[in-house]
Amino acid sequence: MRNAASLTPDPEAPWARLRVAALTPFTSLDFPGHLAAIMHLQGCPLACPYCHSPHLQPFGPGALSPRALTGFLASRRGLLDGIVFSGGEPCAQIGLGDALAACRAQGYATALHSAGVYPHALIRLLPLLDWIGLDWKAPLHDTAPATGRVGLGRRFAQAVHAVLSAGIAHEIRTTWHPALLPPSAMLVMAEQLAQMGAGAWVIQPYWRPVFTTYSASPPLGEAVFPRTLLTQIRAILPNTILRP
């Protein structure tokens, strides 16, 4: 017969399968309307040339234990109101659903940053989310230049459809550099988003001249988004925002 102690839920159990590489203890920018912390999850199948976190790409173990994570959440109750799961690619991890549910059980709102590369996992996770920032990486027919991977268009489309159908608060955004997404590609992406029913699009020019995995020569440099292209895009998708 099990005793009372064995029936008490283990607060660390939901975190046992989550590989967390690092924590950002505070952000007011990454989850609109919330004061939040970010959990950076280990592992991503993409190889975006502008990736600022190439150390998060390998599918290795996490650096933070379930005890450390539960302790952090307990210590921030009343100070933060949200937890953001970012990458790597969070949807690659089978433990993410349990972690999202655990956050909500403790009163935290939940947010996800995803590249949409695992749409079926995303569909399962959407009911556990309060907000999602979904990357719109590339035109559906040509994903290689911006992601380092071919043939992802169908997955990206499924992810956008899932987010739009769920009615969840969201942001669809694209990191732009002319070496990866020339004007013709951006116009196709705007058309594709409009056809899927997206109401808005955020374009964020690549701006950090820091370490990159890009192997081409010359490496990516800072780029200014052409105003004429923005006008053309807004003729297709009027609520397109250029993030400074």
Q: Can you tell me whether residue 97 is helix, strand or coil? A: helix
Q: Are strands 169-176 and 201-205 parallel, antiparallel or unpaired?
A: parallel
- Euclidean distance between CA atoms 46 and 57, whole angstroms: 7
Closest CA to 155 of 170, 175, 135, 169: 135
132 is a site residue for ligand SF4 (CB under 6 A): no
Binding mask 17-36 for ligand SF4 (x = CB under 6 A): --------------------
Span from 42-50, 61-69, 155-163, 223-231 in contact with ligand SF4 (CB under 6 A):
42-50
| Residue 224 backbone phi and psi in degrees, to 5 | -105, 130
Q: Compute CA distances 113 → 31, 91, 122, 129, 225, whole Å.
A: 9, 9, 11, 11, 23
Q: Beta-strand (E) ranges in 64-221?
A: 82-86, 109-114, 131-135, 169-176, 201-205
Nearer to ligand SF4, 77 or 154 (CB): 154
By CB under 6 A, what part of segment 152-211 binds ligand SF4? none
> Interior CA angle at 188 toward 185 and 192, to 5°?
135
Span from 28-36, 51-59, 70-78, 181-189 in contact with ligand SF4 (CB under 6 A):
51-59
48 is a site residue for ligand SF4 (CB under 6 A): yes
Count, residues near ligand SF4 per rule CB under 6 A = 12
Least Å distance between CB 163 and ligand SF4? 16
43 is a site residue for ligand SF4 (CB under 6 A): no
Binding mask 86-125 for ligand SF4 (x = CB under 6 A): -xxx-------------------------x----------
Q: Is the dihedral of CA 240, 39, 160, 146 positive or negative?
A: positive
Nearer to ligand SF4, 44 or 109 (CB): 44
| Footprint on this chain of ligand SF4 (rule: CB under 6 A) | 44, 46-48, 51, 53, 56-57, 87-89, 115
